[in-house]
Amino acid sequence: MKIDEKEYTKSFELRTWKRLLPFFKPFKRLFAVIILMNLLCACVDIALPLFQRVAIDNFIEANTSEGLWLFALIYGVTICAQTVFVIIFTRGCMKVEMNMGRDMKRACFTHLQTLSFSYYNTTPVGYILSRVMSDTNRIAAMCAWNTVDMFWSVSYVIGVFIAMFMLNAKLALLVVLIVPVLAVLTAYFQKRILHWNRRIRKQNSKITSAYNEGIMGAKTSKTLVIEEQNTREFTEITEDMRCSGIRAARLNAVFIPLVMLLGSVISAIVIRRGGQMVLENLLMLGTLSAFVTYATGIFEPIQQIARNLSELFSLQANIERVMDLLDEKPQIVDTPEVIEKYGTSLDPKPENWEPIKGDIEFDDVSFQYPDGNEEVLSHFSLKIPAGTTVAIVGETGAGKSTLVNLACRFFEPTAGRILIDGRDYRERSQLWLHSSIGYVLQSPHLFSGTVMENIRYGRLDATDEEVMAAARAVSADTVVEKLENGWQSDVGEGGDRLSTGEKQLISFARAVLANPRIFVLDEATSSIDTQTEQLIQNAIEYLLRDRTSFLIAHRLSTIRQADLILVVKDGRIVEQGRHEELLRKGGYYHTLYSRQFEEESFMSLLGK
pLDDT tens digit sequence for 545-559: 788 999 887 667 668
> Rounded mean pLDDT of 267-273?
80
Contact 513, 455 (CB under 8 A): yes
- pLDDT score recorded for residue 504: 81
pLDDT tens digit sequence for 516-544: 899 888 765 555 566 666 666 766 676 67
- pLDDT score recorded for residue 603: 46
With 90 as the cut, is the pLDDT of residue 397 above it? Answer: no
The values of phi and psi at residue 8, to 5°, are -110, 115
- pLDDT score recorded for residue 167: 86
> Rounded mean pLDDT of 164-171?
87
With 60 as the cut, is the pLDDT of residue 181 above it? Answer: yes
**Taking all residues of the chain, what is their mean pLDDT, rounded to a whole number?**
83
With 50 as the cut, is the pLDDT of residue 605 above it? Answer: no
Count of beta carbons in the 10 Å neighbourhood of residue 200: 18
Instruction: Compute CA distances 121 → 117, 371, 410, 520, whole Å.
Output: 7, 12, 12, 19
Question: DSSP class of residue 132?
Answer: I
pLDDT tens digit sequence for 441-479: 777 788 888 999 999 988 888 999 999 999 988 888 888
- pLDDT score recorded for residue 530: 63
> Rounded mean pLDDT of 373-393?
87
The values of phi and psi at residue 438, to 5°, are -105, 120
**How many whole angstroms separate alpha carbon 598 and alpha carbon 34?**
77
**How many whole angstroms separate alpha carbon 600 and alpha carbon 541?**
23
Contact 293, 66 (CB under 8 A): no
Residue 2 binned pLDDT confidence (cut-offs 50, 70, 90)? very low
Q: Give the pTM.
A: 0.73
Handedness of CA 157, 158, 162, 168 (dihedral sign): positive
Least confident of 115-119, 140-144, 453-457: 115-119
Contact 41, 301 (CB under 8 A): no
Q: Collapse the DSSP code of 253 into the 3-class scheme (helix H, G, I; strand E, B; otherwise coil) and give the result.
A: helix
Residue 9 binned pLDDT confidence (cut-offs 50, 70, 90)? low
Q: Collapse the DSSP code of 550 into the 3-class scheme (helix H, G, I; strand E, B; otherwise coil) and give the result.
A: strand
Residue 10 binned pLDDT confidence (cut-offs 50, 70, 90)? low
Least confident of 181-195, 375-389, 446-460: 181-195
With 80 as the cut, is the pLDDT of residue 485 above it? Answer: yes
With 90 as the cut, is the pLDDT of residue 21 above it? Answer: yes
With 70 as the cut, is the pLDDT of residue 222 above it? Answer: no
Residue 34 binned pLDDT confidence (cut-offs 50, 70, 90)? very high
Handedness of CA 68, 69, 75, 78 (dihedral sign): negative
Residue 602 binned pLDDT confidence (cut-offs 50, 70, 90)? very low
**How many whole angstroms separate alpha carbon 166 and alpha carbon 177?**
17
With 70 as the cut, is the pLDDT of residue 38 above it? Answer: yes
pLDDT tens digit sequence for 295-317: 777 777 877 787 787 778 778 88
Residue 66 binned pLDDT confidence (cut-offs 50, 70, 90)? confident
More confident residue, 94 or 177: 94
- pLDDT score recorded for residue 265: 79
- pLDDT score recorded for residue 608: 47
